[in-house]
Chains A and B, each alone.
Chain A
Amino acid sequence: MNRILAIHPGAAYHCETLEAPRYAHLFDALARPEELGVVDLTRFDIVLAPCRTPASRLAPHRARLNAYLDAGGAIVAMGETDQHLWLPSIRFTSVPTNYWWWLEPGASLGLSIADPAHPLFARIGASDIAWHLHGVFAPPEGARSLIDDAEGRSVLYVDAATTKGRILATSLDPFYHHGSHFMPAATRFLDGFLPWLKEEF
């Protein structure tokens, strides 16, 4: 079992997702972004930044997070966190979000599972990754994209090449939507994604 340190930025949706019984048992510790300078990160296998953690609160700890990666740690950086401002090798392009795609019969958001053999997809399916698209990544050489948009650009990837550790970066924002009681697909995503992080990542 991986030991997970979840960063807790303190919005209501973070409180709900990180503290309520549904997922709280999966996090070994919670730390405020401002505590990243003093927490012993080496005690954890994964440091997780939930969606909508302001990058301005993570960037001051960039050097320490990079050192953690170079010591073999794993950072999971969820959507709307401006990863390019605090993690290495991130090439991110935001896209205009179509909040209404699902109102048209038969419409699709265009997201697809890029690597169906990956163990994550034994736990979540194509209907569990599609709510909104906020942006896309051009993953660095050697990274593995797990979810792509309709144009083949990555929406979730794992980069084990840039550092001695691993970075999972995604533009999906399920913590926000689940914690806002707003999006069943986001809850289904976390139902599979978080136990996968805990048990297999």
Chain B
Amino acid sequence: MTNAGGEILLVLSGDGPAPKSFDAPLASSALACVRQTELADARLSAARGVVTTMHLDQIEFARRAEALETFFDRGGRMAFMGHLARPFLPELSPFVPLGAGRRDDFALVALGDHFVFDGLDRARLETRRGVAGFYGRGHAPIPSGGRALTGVGPQAAPINWIWERPAGGAILMHAGNDLWTVCDEPSVNAALAERIVAWCVGATA
């Protein structure tokens, strides 16, 4: 059984509305919003893709190990935003914060190509109004077999990576603020949001 044809879910963990960057995929019904507190395990495990935010209740999420395993086994794709505090698969490791937070620590470098970042200079995502640090302030260790996409700081620590889970499914990691908020230019944020949804659909590797 696969999740082809299943929903792409944006899991909202606060009480506020969906981020504006997702207006287009929500309007076209390519994406469905669900409150984390109202998300049934059966809906999660049957989804084709899941997008989580930096506000995810990770304690609750990690308790869904069985539904998540089914989701991935069926080929589900997850775009994970934020600092991983409660690894929800055995292959995942917690977020590692940067040290001092000097300007050089926030430098971004492209480490690999991916549809989500296609044609986007990482330097454009490095600052907002000239201030660095919004993109992210640390990294998440890459599971074995994963591929780094963006590095942060002098060590180019992997803040973005993609991992094809051997038993099925994939994770696109962004170990920072929600990726659809990191640019001064709203159209870039919207493009990032729309590409994340398209990746979840499986239109691209």
A interface list, Cβ under 8 A from B: 8-13, 15-16, 32, 52, 54-57, 82, 100, 103, 180-182
Contact = CB atoms under 8 A, between A and B. Distances in A.
Contact of A56 (B15, B83, B133, B137): B15
B98 to A, nearest CB: 7
Interface of B: 13-15, 35, 37, 54-61, 82-86, 95, 97-98, 101, 129-131, 133, 137-138, 177
Contact of A100 (B97, B98, B129): B129
A119 B37 CA distance: 40
Contacts of A10: 56-61, 86
Secondary structure call for the B interface: loop
Contact of B14 (A8, A15, A52): A52
A141 B97 CA distance: 44
Contacts of B130: 103
B116 to A, nearest CB: 21
B14 A181 contact: no
A107 B83 CA distance: 32
Contacts of B60: 10
Contacts of A100: 129
A52 B55 contact: yes
Given A100-B129, A181-B98, A181-B137, A54 B14 contact: yes
Nearest to A30: B59
Nearest to B53: A11
Contacts of A16: 83, 85
A54 B13 CA distance: 8
A11 B57 contact: yes
Contact of A82 (B15, B37, B131): B15
B84 A12 contact: yes
B92 to A, nearest CB: 13
A12 B15 contact: no
A181 B101 contact: yes
B82 A12 contact: yes
30 contacts: A10-B56, A10-B61, A11-B54, A11-B55, A11-B57, A11-B82, A12-B58, A12-B82, A12-B85, A13-B83, A15-B58, A32-B59, A52-B55, A54-B13, A54-B15, A54-B37, A56-B15, A100-B129, A103-B129, A103-B130, A103-B131, A180-B54, A180-B83, A180-B137, A180-B177, A181-B97, A181-B98, A181-B101, A181-B137, A182-B137
